Amino acid sequence: MTGKEHLLEQYLHALDEGQATYIEELLDSREDERSDVTCDVCLVGAIRQIHLSEHEIEGARERVRDRLTHAMLGDIVIGRQSDAPRSWLKWWVQGTRNWTRAPLGRRARRLSRPALAIAALFILATAGWGASLAAASALPGSPLYGLKRGEEWIQLTTAFSDSQRGEVLGSLARRRLAEAEAAAAVGDSAEVQVLTSELDATMHDLIHLTVVMKTKHEDISGVSGVLSQTLRAENDALGAAQRRGEVVLAQSLISVAHSQQQAIQANALSLPTSSVLPAAPVMPTAAATPTGIGTPSVGVGSSTQLGSGASSGSTGTGASSSGTSGTTATGATGSSGSGTGSHQRGEQTGSCSEDNGSTAGTGVGMPGRVCAPS
């Protein structure tokens, strides 16, 4: 290696080590060869600065990612991945993006590989409108459910803008809600909890997306409309669950409503006026003795406070809270009859005490506060 080559090699090594100032010192110390080597050194420096336009790179990154996700789905179909679909969706939403978690990842993992493979194959092979239509109403356990989830995944991965992604997330959240209601109707408590958990994750993605869009000064009217619409759907479902006495679903929805409410408040999101929620349907009460079992308002930035709950000696569950404070009043008292009462926080009088949710009689209550009438 000649002296010049040696010097260039030293320069390259310094570049690799990030010692930019070292280069000048190096050249100063080799005055005799400086002009010749400087030329090469600067040429290498110029080459190292070459780059393509951000626009081109950014577009390519998005397009290649979309193709990759589809290819990975193909891998699952043909069984190339021995442990697929462990986290193929998570890969898409978490690994390559910063803003969202994987609303479907948990479900994807729960699906059996053959079921998902068949479903995905079905998608790839037919991509037919009829199949999609049939799958849209599929419930967990149905052969078409995998197709439904695969289709959702494609919708999510092919959303071309944040607004559209928001619409997809809202749609997915409402689907999970409908599925949770269906599971509750057949008494599948475990499925209800899984589905409401997925609902919650999807809603948090939607909230987070709204926050990100707001930060980027994008128009959030559409996505916040979707958010408030979905919150209302949750509230309606909660009222219906209470009317039907679906305790697990009601408890789960109360829990997710609290969680979402906190996220919305923490991010100071204000939703359109349509997010001022209607009161949950009031269940017929039998000789109502208000025991303060209600539901939290899932409204945000709204003073509307909703409540519905068991009362008058029933087996009931619920939580009463204000739409903003999140205070929960829960419990069930009494020993006979059934019924659900509603109250608004402002109307409630009486004393409250901490309760573990299991009080006198046959009541089944959630941990919280039991409020007795004065």
Partner 1 sequence: MPIHDPEAALVTRSIQRDAEAFGQLYSLYFDRVYRYVRFRVGNATDAEDLTGSIFLSAWRSIDRFSPKHDASFAGWLFKLAHNAIVDRYRRQRESVSLDDIGASVACEDESPGTEHMVEWRLTVAELHQALQALTAEQREVVLLRFVEGLSAREVGDIMGKQEGTVRGMQFRAIEALRRTLSIGREERARDR
Q: Is 248 strand, coil or helix?
A: helix
Residue 354 zone, left/alpha/beta (φ > 0; ψ -120 to 50; rest):
beta
What is the closest distance, in whole angstroms, from the C-beta atom of residue 95 to partner 1 in the complex? 2
Q: Is 64 in the site for partner 1 (CB under 8 A)?
A: yes
Q: Is 139 in the site for partner 1 (CB under 8 A)?
A: no
Q: Which is nearer to partner 1, 56 or 219 (CB)?
A: 56
Q: Is 61 in the site for partner 1 (CB under 8 A)?
A: yes
How many CA atoms lie less than 13 Å away from 287 in the CB half-sphere? 7
Q: Which is nearer to partner 1, 39 or 360 (CB)?
A: 39
Q: Which is nearer to partner 1, 96 or 221 (CB)?
A: 96
DSSP 360: S
Q: Is 351 strand, coil or helix?
A: strand
Interface residue with partner 1, options 46, 133, 160, 190 (CB under 8 A): 46
Q: Which is nearer to partner 1, 15 or 134 (CB)?
A: 15
Beta strands in the chain (DSSP E): 309-310, 340-341, 351-355, 368-372
What is the closest distance, in whole angstroms, from the C-beta atom of residue 164 to partner 1 in the complex? 21
DSSP 156: H
Would you say 264 and 210 are in contact if contact means Cβ atoms under 8 Å apart? no
Q: Is 241 in the site for partner 1 (CB under 8 A)?
A: no
Q: Is 40 in the site for partner 1 (CB under 8 A)?
A: yes
| Cβ neighbours of 209 (radius 10 Å) | 22
Q: Is 95 in the site for partner 1 (CB under 8 A)?
A: yes
Cα distances (Å, whole numbers) of residue 356 to 256, 330, 370: 20, 9, 9
Residues 6+ apart with CB under 8 A from 200: 255, 256, 259, 260
Residue 313 zone, left/alpha/beta (φ > 0; ψ -120 to 50; rest):
left
Q: Is 10 strand, coil or helix?
A: helix
Q: Is 336 strand, coil or helix?
A: coil
Q: Which is nearer to partner 1, 44 or 288 (CB)?
A: 44
Q: Is 320 strand, coil or helix?
A: strand
Interface residue with partner 1, options 90, 113, 214, 244 (CB under 8 A): 90
Q: Which is nearer to partner 1, 9 or 347 (CB)?
A: 9
What is the closest distance, in whole angstroms, from the C-beta atom of residue 82 to partner 1 in the complex? 8
Interface residue with partner 1, options 81, 193, 304, 327 (CB under 8 A): 81
Q: Pick the stretch among 84-92, 114-122, 260-268, 325-333 that binds partner 1 (CB under 8 A).
A: 84-92
Number of H helices, E strands in the chain: 13, 4
Count of residues that bind partner 1 according to CB under 8 A:
46
Q: Is 12 in the site for partner 1 (CB under 8 A)?
A: yes
Q: Is 110 in the site for partner 1 (CB under 8 A)?
A: no
Residues that bind partner 1 (CB under 8 A): 1, 5, 8-9, 12, 15-16, 38-40, 42-53, 56-57, 60-61, 63-65, 67-68, 71-72, 75, 80-81, 83, 86-88, 90-92, 94-96
